[in-house]
Amino acid sequence: MTKGRLEAFSDGVIAIIITIMVLEIKVPHGSDLMALKPLIPVVISYVLSFIYIGIYWNNHHHMLHAAERIDGSVLWANLYLLFWLSLIPFVTAWMGENHFAPVTMMMYGFIMLMCALAYYILQTRIIAKNGKDSKLSQALGADFKGKASLVLYTLAIGAAFIHEWISAAIYVLVAVMWLIPDKRIEKVIDN
Amino acid sequence: MTKGRLEAFSDGVIAIIITIMVLEIKVPHGSDLMALKPLIPVVISYVLSFIYIGIYWNNHHHMLHAAERIDGSVLWANLYLLFWLSLIPFVTAWMGENHFAPVTMMMYGFIMLMCALAYYILQTRIIAKNGKDSKLSQALGADFKGKASLVLYTLAIGAAFIHEWISAAIYVLVAVMWLIPDKRIEKVIDN
Amino acid sequence: MTKGRLEAFSDGVIAIIITIMVLEIKVPHGSDLMALKPLIPVVISYVLSFIYIGIYWNNHHHMLHAAERIDGSVLWANLYLLFWLSLIPFVTAWMGENHFAPVTMMMYGFIMLMCALAYYILQTRIIAKNGKDSKLSQALGADFKGKASLVLYTLAIGAAFIHEWISAAIYVLVAVMWLIPDKRIEKVIDN
Amino acid sequence: MTKGRLEAFSDGVIAIIITIMVLEIKVPHGSDLMALKPLIPVVISYVLSFIYIGIYWNNHHHMLHAAERIDGSVLWANLYLLFWLSLIPFVTAWMGENHFAPVTMMMYGFIMLMCALAYYILQTRIIAKNGKDSKLSQALGADFKGKASLVLYTLAIGAAFIHEWISAAIYVLVAVMWLIPDKRIEKVIDN
């Protein structure tokens, strides 16, 4: 089984998810700068989710590049990940339009947690198919970032009940953690 | 004629179909968990259709992977399949927003039946081009699942007049039937 | 310059055009079959435009498959074609929602004429780059269908002022003419 | 690292951006030609942005074709460019629906300036990875057009406070400047 179409289909779905989010930034009726003011929380949540989806695409790109073999279970684990990613535009818009209300922040964390779990399952399936000595397995190592994300999302869901800005800070922290270049996979592949 | 662009175009259309369905999950005005309650039937119908389209993409992937030759009639049979698949978001939203009302369940079954028939036609055209001794033809064998789906969709359309939950049960049954791994094509190709 | 990305980008745009048309089939509020009745003209215009875009994709696929070389002018001629194709969803919805009113039928013909002209320009640019003795040039021959389409669309625009059904009949005629298998390019390539 | 998926993902996102803009041309209720009149500014802004995105796609195509190596920083610079490009449909619709009001023209220039800066960053990252003696670096030369665009967009933002048509004239000028064939990259690659 070749991975070409799996990559192409995933690229298509992720490209659409990242782009339809922008449709939630509704064109305002006024034509002055004040007309854009109510859009600020919508744009902020768009930027956050754009970065998250960008991180997923980046990691997905590296992971499948390192994978040498895939099977039917990988196809389904991939679809399961795409399902949770497809709910990001909804929860992003809900959060932005309600100015980061606690329940919407909690729901954002829940969807992010499910995406992270789905990614973990996909990663596990690919390693199972490629072997513990595969390039991918070596590249991931202890997978600190993956595990830390699961913990942090869970904390953010709970923290939304105390104060929504704690959750917000955690979401930004997770994004920054992933944005710091992770040379592991690149290095192992180049060797 | 190469199959690369046929796969790429189909991937594009299926990726869009599976993703625009999510636009029907309209962002609610409230910001508490109760605001999400009216969305439950919409989300359930989204999950069902996501799985169905995932199954179609999976099977389409395997079928074209096994095909060695295509011709103009395959291109058109493929477009005919994409046409019926493109109506799934409409019927999914209609069903979800009307809380699985009998006529909407019947219509869902009708669209699913037409998709299954279109897939059958595409499969027949590909086998005709590749020969009865081709890998694809051997991989399909008696094509039990394909034929059972046609019968079950027809039953579900009729059952909607008795009680809509019978149809619902049948749609779940068909999805589960296809989700059970089908190693036929993979095995034949690997040999 | 390679044609791979030109094909991929065109596939993406055409896949989106053909799929967003379905968003114009708005989900009705009622849950009985009568609720679907007002959608009939919208669905009919969707079917017509789906077939037209399918024909364009098919012909585009064959033309670029036969092309051996492309240059900057081909990229721009291709974008010019995609621009006119991108207006098809608008004019399809306008025509369907207004039950094939004369002016909407005329406008449909105008967009189709511009698409056909843009396709002709693209074809001319590709032949200019590949030479009169190229496979593509031989495959097209006198290009009867291409020229007949231009004449028929012009007639349909005028006929809408007499009676809209004359235009409708011409649009169906053009679609049927293109659906009849055109073995020219396939044959020349296979030799 | 291969550039195939980077190109495919960019093609997907750009194809969606260029196509969803057309959704802003809302289907009018009337069925005569006068019903189309209010759409004229929306269509004009669509044409302008279609050309701009077409230019970006064209240049992106050539730049990545010339690039021989990419790394993680190129992936992120590319996502940063796609982010700013994704805001073009919003600002295009805002400008069109408000009949080119000064603030909307200024905002259009701002988004265009950010796109141009993002493109410049991407170009710089690719040259850094490929070396100053690479084909791409030679092909760009002094990059007159790129630098002139940055200056012209800045001028257009300021000019909107004097009269919006000065900004409009500058946007058309930049588009025309890029439409004039730029044989640099093509030539260097062909040698």
pLDDT at D143 (0 to 100):
81
Span B57-75, average pLDDT: 87
Mutation test of the interface with chain D: which of A2, A7, A11, A45, choosing the one with the most D Cβ atoms within 10 A? A11
Rounded to a whole number of angstroms, the distance from the CA of C142 to the nearest CA of chain D is: 31
pLDDT at B182 (0 to 100):
62
Fill in the DSSP letter of residue D28. P
Per-residue pLDDT reduced to its tens digit, A75-117:
999 999 999 999 999 999 999 999 999 999 999 999 999 999 9
Distance CA B117, CA B123 (A): 10
Residues C119/C178, Cβ–Cβ less than 8 Å: no
**B19, B136, B181, C87, C128 from C9: Cα distances, Å:** 19, 30, 34, 17, 22
Rounded to a whole number of angstroms, the distance from the CA of C32 to the nearest CA of chain B is: 6
- In the stretch 31-60 of chain D, residues with CB closer than 8 A to chain A read none
B191's CB contacts (< 8 A; 6+ apart) are none
Mutation test of the interface with chain A: which of B6, B11, B14, choosing the one with the most A Cβ atoms within 10 A? B11
Closest partner CB to D23 (pick from C20, C71, C104): C20
Closest partner CB to C19 (pick from B6, B17, B93): B17
Per-residue pLDDT reduced to its tens digit, B104-129:
999 999 999 999 999 999 999 998 88
Residue A57 banded pLDDT, cuts 50, 70, 90: very high
Q: Tell me: pLDDT of A120 over 80.
A: yes
- Any chain B CB within 8 A of the CB of C176? no
Nearest CA in chain B to C34: B103
Say whether A113 sits in a helix, a strand or coil. helix
Q: Which of A110, A115, A180 shows the shortest CA–CA distance to A145?
A: A180
Per-residue pLDDT reduced to its tens digit, B76-110:
999 999 999 999 999 999 999 999 999 999 999 99
Q: In what helix (H) or strand (E) does residue B60 lie, and over which residues does it extend?
A: helix B40-66
Name every chain B residue with its beta carbon within 8 A of the beta carbon of A20.
Answer: 19-20, 22-23
Q: Chain-centre distance of CA A90, in angstroms? A: 14
pLDDT at A102 (0 to 100):
93
Give chain B's mean pLDDT.
89
Residues A23/D20, Cβ–Cβ less than 8 Å: yes
CB contact under 8 A, B19 and A24: no
Span C128-144, average pLDDT: 78
Distance CA D114, CA D150 (A): 9
Span B160-164, average pLDDT: 90
Note down the domain range covering A174.
Answer: 4-190
The angle formed by the CA atoms of residues A73, A63 and A45, to the nearest 5 degrees, is 100
Residue D5 banded pLDDT, cuts 50, 70, 90: confident
- Any chain B CB within 8 A of the CB of C133? no
Q: How many domains does chain B have?
A: 1
Closest partner CB to C1 (pick from D31, D50, D186): D186
The token pair at C31 is 């849950």
pLDDT at C73 (0 to 100):
87
Residue C103 banded pLDDT, cuts 50, 70, 90: very high
Per-residue pLDDT reduced to its tens digit, D36-64:
999 999 999 999 999 999 999 989 988 88
